[in-house]
Amino acid sequence: MNIFAEERLRRGLSPQAVAEQAGLPKDVIDALESDNPSFPPPGHVRDRYVRRYKEFLGIPVLPEDATNTLTRVPVSGSGRSLALAFVGTLGVVLLVRGAGWAVDAFDRWQADTAAAAARPAVAPAPDAAGATPDTPAAGASLPAEAPGAGVEPSGAPAEAASAASVSPGHVVEVRAIESVHATVGIEGAPPAHDGPLAPGESTRATGEGPLVAEVSDLSRVVITYNGSRVLPLHDLEAPRRLVFLPPARD
């Protein structure tokens, strides 16, 4: 006779009375009083029944009688060793891979730093007139294939390239990318065009004297001299006056 049966009999209760008053199944009461280890099965269900029966009979509840405990599954020594070995191996693999990633990242950083240190500093290349973007030269800068053009703000004297550098032929053309006002012609003569140009429209001037192209906004046009595009410096959105000298004569 175990502690449950002794306390129940001391109180003068039958198993059926306990089942009704404690709310426990009678077969559970019989199993607990007979020390049946398989019913209820080990786990949180059995612990709950033990706790409830002890509380009903006034028997002190021990820590191992606490409710909501997880099912106790016996683990053999070999199984525990395998689990610990697996966890240890996984930890080592992750540690090695993490160290490899860190080394690769450090190597890449060193390579990039060395490449940046070895790369020479490149200063802004001067244009045909000897100017850089920070220090523009007075007048215009022309590509090597289109010498002979001078640029200055509208109303100021034009600084032209040396006449000896002008290639044969003497034609200037202005083509509008966006709506713009342009004046094109021979200097000192009535202009060939003086007015607005719509997108896609163009005007040109040719002659023996200096040719002038005055544009309200250079960013809205493409200017060519003897078939080569002119690339002026300074603020392209400001009005500019370009002067093209005639070819040099022998």
Query: Is residue 113, in this structure, part of any structural domain at all?
Result: no
Query: Is residue 84, in this structure, part of any structural domain at all?
Result: no
Q: Is 124 within 8 Å of 113 (Cβ atoms)? A: no
What domain count does the chain have? 2
pLDDT at 201: 94
Query: Is residue 249, in this structure, part of any structural domain at all?
Result: no
Query: Is residue 143, in this structure, part of any structural domain at all?
Result: no
Query: Is residue 135, in this structure, part of any structural domain at all?
Result: no
Q: Could you report the per-residue pLDDT of 41-93, keeping only the tens digit for each? A: 777 788 888 888 899 988 988 876 654 433 334 445 566 677 777 788 888 77
Select from 50, 65, 80 the last residue of a domain.
Answer: 65
Query: Is residue 134, in this structure, part of any structural domain at all?
Result: no
Q: Could you report the per-residue pLDDT of 106-134, keeping only the tens digit for each? A: 877 777 777 666 665 554 444 444 444 44
Query: Is residue 36, in this structure, part of any structural domain at all?
Result: yes
Query: Is residue 122, in this structure, part of any structural domain at all?
Result: no
pLDDT at 118: 62
Check pLDDT > 70 for residue 167. no
Confidence of residue 171 (pLDDT cuts 50, 70, 90): very high
pLDDT at 71: 35
CATH number at residue 56: 1.10.260
Select from 12, 32, 65 the last residue of a domain.
Answer: 65
Domain limits for position 217: 149-244
pLDDT at 205: 92
Check pLDDT > 80 for residue 2. yes
Beta bridge mates, 193: 184
Write out the two tokens for 53. Answer: 């029966």
Select from 43, 65, 87 the last residue of a domain.
Answer: 65
pLDDT at 232: 59
Of 174-183, 208-217, 226-235, the least confident: 226-235
**Mean pLDDT of the region 7-17:** 90
Find, among 181, 183, 158, the residue nearest to 242 by Cα. 158
Q: Is 247 within 8 Å of 147 (Cβ atoms)? A: no
Measured between alpha carbons, how far is 243 from 241 in angstroms, rounded to an integer? 7
